[in-house]
Amino acid sequence: MTVEQAADGGVGGDDPFDDLRRRGRARLIAVLATLVTVGALLWWFNRAPDRGPVGDCGDLDSPSPAPLEHDRYCTLRGTVQTALILTMGRENEQAMDEATRKKGLRYFVKLGHGVVAALPGGRPDIEAFKREREHLEGFVVAGVGRVFDGQKERGYGGTAAALRRAFDLSDDQPMWIFDAGDRAQQ
């Protein structure tokens, strides 16, 4: 009897592949455990946070619109106040049609009462209005999106400061961003 057989209690020491099988099973279990952990983490980080039902943020064209709440999905209506458009993102230069080419863009425009809308590039109604007039002044933004305070939102501090300067919004009034491209996943 060899030392290995004695360690096994004298059983199963005849098969030279026993040790390889044991190591293979251990590796398989480690790989499966890693995949399950990574899958669970991806699910956790990619799930939509529960922000409650889609509310009504009102009409910004009214003299006294409803107060806005940070990080809320809601329907909102407002008219673009200036011809100035701040564009962020990048066009897909390989795309043949305009809508697909502009899908990577976001247009920031000023609405009323300290609200700046982030409009998705490539949306047919936005692109048609912009192409016809070469600006978005007078375009009516209406629909569901996410409203948030640019100063409170992580990663938006610099963007909020640039939007304040560009749209001449004072530092003493709140500035809200309405992201018309962010939809609640319901």
pLDDT digits (tens, 9 = 90+) for 118-163: 999 989 999 999 999 999 999 999 999 999 998 888 888 888 889 9
Shared-domain flag, residues 78 and 114: yes
In a domain? residue 186: no
pLDDT of 30 over the 70 cut: yes
What is the domain count for the chain?
A: 2
Q: How confident is the model at residue 186 (pLDDT cuts 50, 70, 90)?
A: very low
Residue 126: per-residue pLDDT: 92
Q: For residue 120, which of 151, 87, 94, 93 has the smallest C-alpha distance?
A: 87
Residue 139 CB coordination number (10 Å): 20
- Same structural domain, 83 and 128: yes
Task: Identify whether the C-beta of residue 76 lies closer than 8 Å to the C-beta of residue 146.
Answer: no
Picking from 106, 184, 107, the residue whose alpha carbon sits closest to that of residue 147 is 184
Averaged pLDDT of the chain: 83
pTM of the model: 0.69
Confidence of residue 4 (pLDDT cuts 50, 70, 90): low
pLDDT digits over 60-105, tens only?
Answer: 998 888 889 888 899 999 999 999 999 998 888 888 887 788 888 9
Same domain, 20 and 104: no
Q: In terms of domains, do 155 and 90 share one?
A: yes
Report residue 108 as tokens.
Answer: 């920031």
Tens digits of residue pLDDT in 15-29:
777 877 888 888 888
Nearest Cα residue to 59 out of 1, 124, 113: 113
**Residue 132 falls inside a structural domain:** yes
| Residues 148 and 74 both lie in one domain | yes
Domain, as residue range, for 110: 55-179
pLDDT at position 184 over 60: no
Do the beta carbons of residue 112 and residue 97 sit within 8 Å?
no
